[in-house]
Amino acid sequence: MTDLQPLSPEEGVDRFLDYREPSIRETSFQNAKHRLSVFLEWCDERGIENLNELDGRMLNDFVRWRQPDIAAITLQKQLSSVRQALRWWADIEAVEEGLSEKLHAPELPDGAQSKDVFLDPEHAEMALEYYDRHHYGSRDHALIALLWRTGMRRSGVRSIDVDDLDENDHAVRVEHRPETGTTLKNGDDGNRWVYLGPEWFSILSAYLTNPDRTHVVDEFGREPLFTTDAGSRPVGNSIYKWTVRALFPCNFQECPHDRSPSSCEAIGADGTLSECPSARSPHAVRRGSITQHLNQDTTPEVVSERMDVSLNVLYEHYDARTEREKMAVRRDNLP
């Protein structure tokens, strides 16, 4: 256990902002300052006078305290700033190492983000081609392949066990299992088999035999498909970070925003990959996957069942096709 040094929330925030200010843009600095002011308000309300006191349960209380007052996507951004501060406070012995990983953002409800934010096919294909050639069967490869092929939510991804893979049908089972630690957004209504196909299934098979994959049996005797290096089933925030990192565009092409490493907020020791304008979350991959399925003439009814989303929500929040793309699909289905 780390020997922590006392630090008040006010001084901790001031130190963190002083540290960050020279390396980020003014707008980003003001955003961080506002978001952390809310965290200070909660600390004051709770009577927290020393950051050393913080633990996972208290961070969960902070999320529950803030959640009713703001939109889901705003909450995610606010928690991202607090998480950055927690990582830095751990470096200066003000909080326990790894505490930032215990600050979990609730999964976004359907439609919480703009339809403009989605993973486009060119970005997806470039990433998958890169992993096909250089990191076949890695965790990042398997995760992006599964998300893009199925449009699955984070809760679905983390619920999958090794036994849920069906090699004969090249399919995967998604099941609501609250009694053994994993849940789906729509409960039992989200239970389904999802077809992958031989090429996509082989990527998951390769990941299973990858020597870098950590074999895990959880407290319920289940073997999760995706595992952390620490030997556990990943939480939703881990899947979020893996996805953003795996799709970071500078992994497989020159920076699309003409940034230099010295001026980019997304890279470097203090960078946050989600600050990249091209960063894409699992929710954005889901939206892109649904749009791509629709553009490839998959009927909305099939997409609805495959992605576990109602038709109304699909049309209102997930269908990112342009008007011309919609016309092209209709045209190809005319007599």
pLDDT at position 1, please? 52
Co-location of 274 and 226 in the same domain: yes
The predicted pLDDT at position 271 comes to 60
Range of the domain at 247: 111-256+264-335
pLDDT of 180 strictly over 90: yes
125 and 205 belong to one structural domain: yes
Mean of all residue pLDDT scores within the chain: 89
pLDDT at 113 over 60: no
CA distance 288 to 280: 10
The answer to whether residue 325 sits within a structural domain is: yes
Q: Which neighbouring-strand residues pair with 194?
A: 172
291 is a domain residue: yes
- Classify each residue of 174-211 as buried b or exposed e, where b means 16 or more C-beta atoms within 10 Å of its C-beta: bbbeeeeebbbbeeeebebebebeeebbbbbebbeebe
Residues 206 and 320 in one domain: yes
**% the chain with pLDDT above 70:** 94
CATH of the domain at 299: 1.10.443.10
Which tens digit of pLDDT belongs to each residue from 24-36? 778 778 888 988 9
Whole-prediction pTM value? 0.69
User: With b meaning 16 or more CB within 10 Å and e meaning fewer, what string describes 119-135?
Assistant: beeebbeebbebbeeeb
CA atoms of 232 and 138, how far apart (whole Å): 17
Same domain, 277 and 315: yes
Q: Which of residues 333 and 179 earns the better pLDDT score?
A: 179
Residues 30 and 157 in one domain: no
Instruction: Report yes or no on 1 lying in a domain.
Output: no
- In a domain, residue 3? The reply is no
Quote the number of domains for the chain: 2
Residue 139 vs residue 101, higher pLDDT: 139
In the predicted model, what is the mean pLDDT of residues 36-54?
A: 93
Instruction: Give domain status of residue 209, yes or no.
Output: yes
pLDDT band at 105 (very low <50, low <70, confident <90, very high): confident
Residues 298, 233, single domain; the answer is: yes
In the predicted model, is pLDDT for residue 173 greater than 70? yes
| pLDDT tens figures, 208-253 | 999 999 999 999 999 999 999 999 999 888 999 999 999 999 888 8
Same domain, 72 and 125: no
Q: 299 and 163 in one domain?
A: yes
Least confident of 73-87, 97-111, 205-219, 226-240: 97-111
* CATH number of the domain encompassing residue 86: 1.10.150.130
pLDDT of residue 226: 98
Q: Based on the fold, state whether residues 175 and 305 are members of the same structural domain.
A: yes
Q: Does residue 39 lie within any of the structural domains?
A: yes
Based on the domain organization, do 19 and 120 belong to the same domain? no
Please tell me whether residues 15 and 65 are part of one structural domain: yes
Which DSSP helix (H) or strand (E) runs through 293? Answer: helix 282-295
107 or 139, higher pLDDT: 139
Question: pLDDT higher for 37 or 76?
Answer: 37
Give mean pLDDT, residues 104-112.
64
